[in-house]
Amino acid sequence: MARGTALIYDEEMTKYKLLWVDPACKIEVPERLSVSYEALVRNGLADRCVSIPVREATDAEILLVHSDEYLEAVKKTPYMTLEELKEFTLQFGDVYFHPNIYHCAKLAAGSALQLVDSVMMERVRNGMALVRPPGHHSMRSAASGFCVFNNVAIAARYAKQKYGVKRVLIVDWDIHHGQGVQDCFEDDPSVLYFSWHRYEHQKFWPQLRESDYDSVGKEEGAGFNINLPWNQVGMENSDYLSVFCHVLLPVAYEFCPDLVLVCAGFDSAIGDPEGEMCATPDIFAHLTHLLMNLAGGRLCAVLEGGYNLTSLPQSVCQTVQTLLGDPLPQLANLSGPCRSALESLQCLRSAQKQHWGSFKHSASPPAANISTKRIRIAEEEEEKTELGEEEKSSEEKVWHEPPKRPCPPIRSASVLPDDVACPDGCKRITKDFHPLIVSRLKDHLGQEAEDGDALATFSTLVSLVQKMEQNEVGSGLALVGDVIKALMCVVQHVSPDLNRVLVVCVGNGKIPSHVSRDGKVLVLQISSDVSEEQQSKYYISVCLQKGCCNTSGFMQAVLGLLLPVGYEYNPDLVLLVRMPDSGVCDVVWKQLTGLLQSFAKGHTLVLMQEEENSCVGPTASILLGDPAPPLESLQTPDREDVDAVERLRHRLQADWKLLQTTSEHTSGAVQL
């Protein structure tokens, strides 16, 4: 299995700049690239990556996307005078040319291809290319939006041609719509293009009608183009995560890509003059991690926009650190998406309903009476309003430096019977009696305290959790005689400093509801049993017709319920419990384990029955940072399971705002 993270950068791509006065283009400066790379060096991340040399893309590679006439025209720019460059630039929109930009554009496209080669040939697992000029706006025969050649579009076609990649997912989190990528693939069902972008009802650049939510693709590509328009500025981490949980991830798992390409534009981060959004740099650590569970971890991020020279390098570092496998930062103070985000979310899910099983039975009608839709009145008054908004939005944003993400000395530890081999890379913890812990345990266990082996196991588990709390150990797994007793023991004896513990139970079995009454513990169980326990905000039982055997229903519950609730709860520890005869297959189990690393800085303890020793290796591999293998393309979940999940979501969304998918001010509640 491939390991390592590629980093592609060359100072040569900083050697062009704007040579005349152009207010629209002045923000695109060489420092965008240099400060990003310097931040990676300063934080010790560049040295941890595999450095891949750049190369120029060939004419044949560029022609995979662009017309011969356009390529030949750009080839002439190195020999143009300043006046000729100005005149040439006037053919296009919001772009500039320089004598060295053709060379740099070939390096940028070639860097994206080098990254694809490195990942597809398994020299590395994933990687990032720091390139300039960006690419996602450039059309077949036109430069646009600082972009000359469409780096990611070329990379997608190259991967399909050279490596026979059947399905490519392109995720464009830049704040501008990548109309060039959309135009390239809108009739191609082998490429799923997702873009969120500042839109403001077509008032924000590139001001295209086809950037709205109802542009879903054409002909055979219908449904494979997904646009999420942001119709107001100020979107936050909660808005971004909501779209991932309720739109992108369900569709991506259904699509089942062989390769993930990211148009990694960081003008969607706080402080950027273009985006005017409020999402902090550490959100990109989480977005990256959620995508790393797709395509067997084959992910290539290629730099696009980003014009704040503070939040840009911070966001780049967060992305690369996640690609390297470091623990994720905790995201505090998450709540529900704002009303405008919910309206866009609702409209998009409705527009895509006929194309994706994920939305077939759960999407509501499009939102009516959009809250941000401008009422056109006298031009003078409208201009006055917009001027006021512009002055307000130009206020300088302040945000905290992203938190440090220290790696624990021990990545993962195990508590196993003597006859079960410890997986490579995982440290075996010898069962032992820890006097203070044993004393506390005896007070609670009663007669069970007389079982010396069980007492030693429980004592060791509590000790292991303490080591996680001190960040001496990242994660752990244990084979125990009784998972429910082990769970209750750990829950009752965790440190008071662990304010929130998320318990995820897979399979049938009774978890006493009293463990979650004070909110310090949140239990979410997925099974085929209707729970007899009283459900509450902190005790959530998801009953599926076939329990954990039905992959589509199970993943719907994980993506649509578990992830949003988990993010909003923000646990300090995750306990993942595999019940006896759970029925969950290894691939799905590994996906779940991988996704749960989003929480609690990766501090996850997995509890399994002693008979489940065949699961030790697969579980440990994920805890040690290996990507989960891809699932098969998911089918439409059973209607009964969809209804069950939707009923739960509707009941819980008053308490857990990240579960919302419709605006409370719009009609369209699902009738179940």
Helix, strand, or coil (residue 608): strand
Closest Cα to residue 590, out of 422, 471, 477?
Answer: 477
Give the containing element (helix H, strand E) for 524: strand 521-527
For residue 591, the number of C-alpha atoms closer than 13 Å in the C-beta half-sphere is 27
Can you tell me the distance from the alpha carbon of 107 to that of 101, in angstroms, rounded to the nearest whole number? 10
C-alpha dihedral (294, 299, 305, 311), degrees to nearest 10: 80
Task: Kindly report the number of other CB atoms within 10 A of residue 142's CB atom.
Answer: 19
Secondary structure E strands in 334-484: 410-415, 427-428, 473-480
| Joined tokens for residue 654 | 């008053």
Bridge-based pairing state of the strands 191-198 and 225-230: parallel
Q: What is the 3-state secondary structure (H, E, C) of 546-603?
A: CCCCCHHHHHHHHHHHHHHHHHHHCCCEEEEEECCCCCCCHHHHHHHHHHHHHCHHHC
Cis before residue 206, ω within 30 degrees of 0? yes
Place of tokens 């320089």: 98
* Catalytic residue flag (residue 66): no
Under 8 Å between Cβ of 467 and 413? yes
Q: Taking the C-alpha atoms of 522, 526, 530 and 535 in order, what is their torsion angle to the nearest 10 degrees?
A: 20
Cα–Cα dist 102/88, whole Å:
13
List the structure tokens of 469: 């709390």
- H or E element that contains 577: strand 573-578
Q: From the candidates 136, 137, 176, 177, give the one annotated as an active-site residue.
A: 137
* Token pair recorded at residue 109: 């496209």
Cβ-based neighbour number of residue 434 at 10 Å: 15
Instruction: Locate 479 and state its tokens.
Output: 């084979």
Alpha-carbon torsion, ordered 509, 560, 627, 295, to 10 deg? 130
534 exposure class (CB count in 10 Å sphere: 0-12, 13-18, 19+)? exposed
What token pair was written down for 530? 């209707």
136: exposed, middle or buried (C-beta count within 10 Å: 0-12, 13-18, 19+)? buried
Surface-to-core class of residue 576, CB atoms within 10 Å of its CB (0-12 exposed, 13-18 middle, 19+ buried): buried
CA pair distance 313, 323, nearest whole angstrom: 15
The helix/strand/coil state of 104 is helix
Distance CA(150)–CA(67), nearest Å, equals 12
Largest CA distance in the chain: 90
Alpha-carbon gap, residue 124 to 99, rounded angstroms: 34
Span between the terminal Cα atoms of the chain, in Å: 45
CA 439 from centre of chain? 43
- Dihedral angle of Cα 464, 465, 468, 473, to the nearest 10 degrees: 20
Are the CB atoms for 212 and 348 separated by under 8 Å? no
Amino acid (one-letter) located at 354 = Q
**Active site positions, annotated:** 137
